[in-house]
């Protein structure tokens, strides 16, 4: 009997048992925190702990933290048992094991070295995808991340979003990502560039550039070039620990041109990591010209920002909730273009199926919303299909809006004051106070601009899990991040939503990637109830 696999995307995914996939890496303490914050059930956590194990030992402090986040007694007991396996006879103790794992990572990825003998990066001249000249020499005095990649390369595809984040975070501090594609045709590269919203220049590689950089034995190959024009690091393959890139870029940005005392050694020999970060001056505050990045990538080098008083925190919450109500009303007076894309990926990161539908969002003479489909290629998803419920999530679940009306349903807690891209923001955790039957809620974190007091970014998932499970099917929810930009100098509207997550079902993991883009916002004329979107 044929069994149907059903998916509610972007944030609800329902699948029947699938082929078991290889075991993933052990759960870290951060993984457990994210699962708890995301509303994972005790049964789901127990399954994951049994399947994947953990890479830490439960301490009293961690136990308290996990219980505060909703861990049950059975989950705590499972974490204790899994952690005790780390200290079994013949294996390093927990502290020693952590050091061993770190050393393996450091051996695979070049680390800071006190060498001043790094080679000078060969200059080259190519044409970017728009036909404009791209000369490496033009970027001297900047820290450059030079990435050789291909659109058909799974590891390359997986690291591109991280490179986009690096460019957004440090692009105005003297840092530049440059991509050099080794594809045979520029056509596939241009499509990939648009689909992934790449925000840095990309050129097509030629044989001369290949030769200049040692023939490129594999891709991706990434080079970090300092302000002095020297190659301070060469990395083959996608790094397992992407935070290393963050730290290395920060170190190189802190050095003036010509100084290389903390340069990064070229790959080939293992070095011991020298952890730490440097303090750099915060960038000048401007309106967001690109989607804000993960706060973890942009805050390490920031000086401590002052925390508001408890009374002020409550004022901030009320203020941004009131502005969310205005935002919700204002967005109903804008036409815009919305692109919805879902990819199903294999274990190597290759796309095995895709769904896409683009809309122009218009309004009729009565002010009713109209969706005009502008692009709808053939749906090639293999194990899942899009339902009307999916389309409703595309329309309504995002952006997450927390107005005064919804505020009593949520517990909002202040977490800190952080830098996000070119702005500084207050960070709040958001959890539903009560899960009512038949309803879905947002649970995660929001970033609130500390001057406009409007949400500029949200990250989390839909809870509860299992709410829509039918006939023994499992319902899981991928984590998503939504970025907003300031439109017309007034409101922070969503411009980009992305979910790139592996959902761990009882039968194994399923890797999904979803991207929603909102663009071409145009305010309706006050003299008409409806204005067509001119494209």
DSSP type of residue 87: G
Question: Each residue of 129-150: pLDDT tens digit?
Answer: 888 889 998 898 899 999 998 8
- The secondary structure element, H or E, covering residue 272 is none
Cα–Cα distance between 147 and 237 in angstroms, integer? 10
Lowest mean pLDDT among 128-132, 199-203, 235-239, 428-432: 235-239
CATH topology of domain 109-280: Glutaredoxin (3.40.30)
The whole-number pLDDT of residue 200 equals: 93
Rounded average pLDDT over 497-525: 81
| Confidence band for 75, pLDDT divided at 50, 70 and 90 | very high
pLDDT of 280 strictly over 60: no
Higher pLDDT, 475 or 138: 138
The whole-number pLDDT of residue 377 equals: 92
Query: How many C-beta neighbours within 10 Å does residue 139 have?
Result: 21
Sole residue written with tokens 């002095």: 228
Nearest residue to 492 via CA among 420, 395, 411, 413: 420
Higher pLDDT, 211 or 132: 132
Q: Note the Cα 307 to chain centre separation in Å.
A: 26
Question: Each residue of 378-413: pLDDT tens digit?
Answer: 999 886 667 666 677 677 665 678 888 889 999 999
Farthest-apart Cα atoms in the chain, separation:
78
The whole-number pLDDT of residue 147 equals: 92
The whole-chain average pLDDT of the chain stands at 73
pLDDT of 103 strictly over 80: no
Question: Each residue of 251-279: pLDDT tens digit?
Answer: 888 876 654 433 333 333 222 222 222 22
R_g (Cα) of the chain, nearest Å: 24
Question: Each residue of 26-66: pLDDT tens digit?
Answer: 777 767 876 776 567 788 788 888 877 887 888 888 888 88
Q: Note the Cα 87 to chain centre separation in Å.
A: 34
Rounded average pLDDT over 144-162: 86
pTM, entire model: 0.49
Cα–Cα distance between 156 and 152 in angstroms, integer? 8
Percent residues over pLDDT 70 in the chain = 70
Cα–Cα distance between 220 and 110 in angstroms, integer? 15
Helix, strand, coil % over all residues of the chain, rounded to 5: 30, 30, 40
The whole-number pLDDT of residue 398 equals: 55
The whole-number pLDDT of residue 61 equals: 80
Percent residues over pLDDT 90 in the chain = 16
Cα–Cα distance between 361 and 335 in angstroms, integer? 5
Query: How many C-beta neighbours within 10 Å does residue 172 have?
Result: 14
Long-range (24+ apart) CB contacts under 8 A made by 395-399 are 395/371, 397/10, 397/11, 397/440, 397/462, 398/10, 398/11, 398/480, 398/482, 398/494, 398/497, 398/516, 399/458, 399/482, 399/484, 399/493, 399/494, 399/497
The whole-number pLDDT of residue 72 equals: 92
Cα–Cα distance between 76 and 83 in angstroms, integer? 10
- The secondary structure element, H or E, covering residue 56 is none
Spell 272-299 as b/e; 16+ CB within 10 A means b: ebeeeeeebebbeeeebebbbbbbebbb
| Confidence band for 4, pLDDT divided at 50, 70 and 90 | very low
Q: What are phi and psi of 204, to 5 degrees?
A: -90, 135
Could you state, in order of their start, the residue ranges of all structural domains in the chain?
Answer: 18-106, 109-280, 310-523
Higher pLDDT, 341 or 284: 341
The whole-number pLDDT of residue 284 equals: 31
Q: Which range, 232-246, 265-279, 285-299, 358-372, has the best average confidence (pLDDT)?
A: 358-372
Question: Each residue of 315-372: pLDDT tens digit?
Answer: 999 999 999 888 888 888 889 999 999 898 888 788 888 999 999 988 877 777 788 8
């Amino acid at each position: 009997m044929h069994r149907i696999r059903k998916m509610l995307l972007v944030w609800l995914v329902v699948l029947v048992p699938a082929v078991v996939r290889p075991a993933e890496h052990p759960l870290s303490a951060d993984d457990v925190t994210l699962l708890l914050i995301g509303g994972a059930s005790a049964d789901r956590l127990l399954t994951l702990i049994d399947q994947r194990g953990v890479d830490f030992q439960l301490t009293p402090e961690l136990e308290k933290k996990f219980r505060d986040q909703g861990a049950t007694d059975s989950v705590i007991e499972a974490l204790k048992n899994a952690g005790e396996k780390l200290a079994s006879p013949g294996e390093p103790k927990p502290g020693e094991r952590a050091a061993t794992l770190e050393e393996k990572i450091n051996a695979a990825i070049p680390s800071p070295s006190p060498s001043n003998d790094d080679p000078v990066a060969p200059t080259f001249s190519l044409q970017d995808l728009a036909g404009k000249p791209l000369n490496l020499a033009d970027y001297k005095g900047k820290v450059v991340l030079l990435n050789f990649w291909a659109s058909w390369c799974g590891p390359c595809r997986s690291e591109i979003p991280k490179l986009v984040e690096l460019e957004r975070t440090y692009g105005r501090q003297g840092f530049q990502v440059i991509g050099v594609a080794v594809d045979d045709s520029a056509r596939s590269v241009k499509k990939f560039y648009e689909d992934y919203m790449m925000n840095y220049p990309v050129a097509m590689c030629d044989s001369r550039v290949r030769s200049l950089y040692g023939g490129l034995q594999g891709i991706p190959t990434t080079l970090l070039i300092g302000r002095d024009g020297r190659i301070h690091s060469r990395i083959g393959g996608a790094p397992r620990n992407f935070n290393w890139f963050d730290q290395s870029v920060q170190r190189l940005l802190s050095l003036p041109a010509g100084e290389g005392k903390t340069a990064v050694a070229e790959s080939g020999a293992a070095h011991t990591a020298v952890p730490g970060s440097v303090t750099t001056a915060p960038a000048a505050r401007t309106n967001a010209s690109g989607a804000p990045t993960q706060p973890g990538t942009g805050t390490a080098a920031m000086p401590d920002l002052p925390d508001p008083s408890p009374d002020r925190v409550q004022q901030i919450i009320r203020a941004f909730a009131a502005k969310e109500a205005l935002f919700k009303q204002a967005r109903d007076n804008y036409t815009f273009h919305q692109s919805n894309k879902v990819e199903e990926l294999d274990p190597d990161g290759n796309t095995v199926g895709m769904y896409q539908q683009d809309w122009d969002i218009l309004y009729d003479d009565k002010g009713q919303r109209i969706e005009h489909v502008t692009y709808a290629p053939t749906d090639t998803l293999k194990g899942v299909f899009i339902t009307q419920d999916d389309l409703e999530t595309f329309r309504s679940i995002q952006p997450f809006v927390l107005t005064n009306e919804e505020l009593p349903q949520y517990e909002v807690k202040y977490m800190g004051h952080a830098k996000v891209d070119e702005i500084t923001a207050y960070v709040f955790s958001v959890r539903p106070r009560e899960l009512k039957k038949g309803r879905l809620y947002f649970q995660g974190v929001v970033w609130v601009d500390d001057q406009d007091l409007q949400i500029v970014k949200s990250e989390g998932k839909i809870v509860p899990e299992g709410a829509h499970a039918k006939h023994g099917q499992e319902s899981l929810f991928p984590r998503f991040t939504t970025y907003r930009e300031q439109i017309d100098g007034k409101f922070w509207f969503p411009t980009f939503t992305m979910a790139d997550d592996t959902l761990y079902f009882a039968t194994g993991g399923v890797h999904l990637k979803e991207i929603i883009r909102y663009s071409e916002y145009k305010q309706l004329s006050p003299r008409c109830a409806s204005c067509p979107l001119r494209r």
